[in-house]
Amino acid sequence: MNLRMILLATLVTIPAPLAAQITQTEPKVSTQSPALADTIPSQAEVAAPTIAPAPLPVDATDAGLGETPTLLPPTEPLAPQQEVWQTAQDASERATAFLQNGGPSIWVIAALSVITAALILWKIWRLALIGAWSRGKAGQALKLFERGDINAALAIVDNRRGIRSKVVANAIRAIHYLPEDRAREETARVAKREIAQAGIGLRALELIATIAPLLGLLGTVLGMITAFQALQQAGNRADPALLAGGIWEALLTTAAGMAVAIPASAALTWFEAVIERIRRDVEDGATRLFVAGARIDLKLAAE
C-alpha cells in the first residue's frame, strides 16, 4: 500500500509531456553490431548486382549549366596532296592579287622576270656545252705540241666542241700549214669568233638589268598620280587610308623592278667574268703554240 502511494506521488510530480514520452517509447535491442550490419548486403542486392558505368568527364561550365556534353568526331589531318594543292592555290591567289594591284607596269616586269630566268638557265647550259669550265684537253694538247708531238696534240683537240680546244686545233693547223703571219691572223680570227659566240645573250641581260628598275619607277609614278587623283576627287571627305593604300600599291612596281634587275645584273657580271677567263686562256694558249712552233722550226732548220 505504501509502495503504491509512493509511485502515484512520483507520477504526479513528473511533468505530463515527459511522462507520455517515457510511457510511449520502448528501448529496442539490436541483435547485430552496427559495423556488421553495414557490411552485410541485403538479399535484393545479392540477387541483382548492378555495376554503374563510370560517368563521362564533363566540362566545368557544362556541368554548372546542366548541359549534356557533345562528343565531336575526330578530325583527320589533310592529306599531303591536299596540303600541296592548298599551298599552290594560295600562292596563285597572292600572285594574281600582286599583278592586279601593280598596274600595267607590273605585267611588263613579270614578263622580263620570265625572260631573265630563261636567259640565265640557257646561258649556263651554253657555257657548259662549250667547255667554259674545262681546260683538260687543251692543256694536254699544248704540252704535247711543246714537246714536238704535233700529231698527238692535234688528235686530242680535233673535232671537240670546247672553245679552248677549237682555238688550239685551228692554231696547230695554221702553224703547220701556213706562214707565221697568216697563221697568227687565222688564229686571231677563230678566237674572236668563238669568244663572240660565247657572249651571245649578255647584251639582253644587260638591257633587262637597265630597264627593269626604270619600269618599276614608271609604275610607281603612275600609281602615285592615280592615288592623288582619287584623293582630290574625295575633297574634304578625303581618307588618309586611301592615300596610303595607293602609295603602297604604287611602290610594288619599284620593288618588282629591283627584284628582276638585281639577279640579271649579278648573272651578267658572273658570265662576263667566265668569258674573260676564257679569253685569257685562249690568248695564253695561242702564244704558247706560236712560241713552241718557232722553236720547232729553228730545231728543224738546225738539223
Residue 270 has pLDDT above 70, yes or no: yes
Record the pTM: 0.64
> Is 31 domain-assigned?
no
At residue 194, the pLDDT reads 93
At residue 3, the pLDDT reads 56
Greater confidence (24 vs 274) lies with: 274
141 closest CA partner among 159, 154, 130: 154
At residue 233, the pLDDT reads 75
Q: How confident is the model at residue 265 (pLDDT cuts 50, 70, 90)?
A: very high
Q: What is the dihedral of CA 55, 60, 64, 67, to 10 degrees?
A: -60
CA distances from 268 to 28, 129, 202, 204 (A): 114, 18, 6, 9
> Is 186 domain-assigned?
yes
Name the least confident of 2-11, 36-45, 294-303.
Answer: 36-45
Greater confidence (220 vs 74) lies with: 220
> Is 255 domain-assigned?
yes
> Is 263 domain-assigned?
yes
> Is 150 domain-assigned?
yes
Instruction: Find all residues with CB under 8 Å of 272, minimum gap 6, and list them.
Output: 202
CA distances from 288 to 141, 193, 257, 258 (A): 11, 20, 47, 45
| Average pLDDT along the chain | 76
Residues of the domain holding 166: 103-302
Instruction: Find all residues with CB under 8 Å of 219, minimum gap 6, and list them.
Output: 102, 103, 104, 105, 106, 109, 250, 252, 253, 254, 256, 257
pLDDT in tens, 176-220: 888 888 999 999 999 999 999 999 999 999 999 999 999 999 988
Residue the block writes with cell 520502448: 26
CA distance 25 to 242: 95
> Is 10 domain-assigned?
no
**Residue 70: what residue type?**
T
How many domains in the chain? Answer: 1
> Is 146 domain-assigned?
yes
Buried residues in 69-98 as b, exposed as e (16+ CB within 10 A): eeeeeeeeeeeeeeeeeeeeeeeeeeeeee
Q: What percent of the chain has pLDDT over 90?
A: 32
CA distance 188 to 196: 12
> Is 53 domain-assigned?
no
131 closest CA partner among 160, 110, 158: 160
CA distance 182 to 208: 41
Rounded to an integer, the average pLDDT of 102-114 is 86
CA distance 69 to 85: 36
Kindly state the DSSP code that residue 1 receives in the 8-state scheme.
-
Q: What percent of the chain has pLDDT over 70?
A: 61
At residue 136, the pLDDT reads 84
Residue 62 has pLDDT above 80, yes or no: no
Rounded to an integer, the average pLDDT of 90-103 is 64
CA distances from 242 to 226, 227, 228, 238 (A): 11, 8, 9, 8
Q: How confident is the model at residue 115 (pLDDT cuts 50, 70, 90)?
A: very high
135 closest CA partner among 176, 167, 97, 179: 167
Q: Are 132 and 274 in contact (CB under 8 A)?
A: yes
Name the least confident of 111-115, 206-210, 218-222, 284-288.
Answer: 218-222
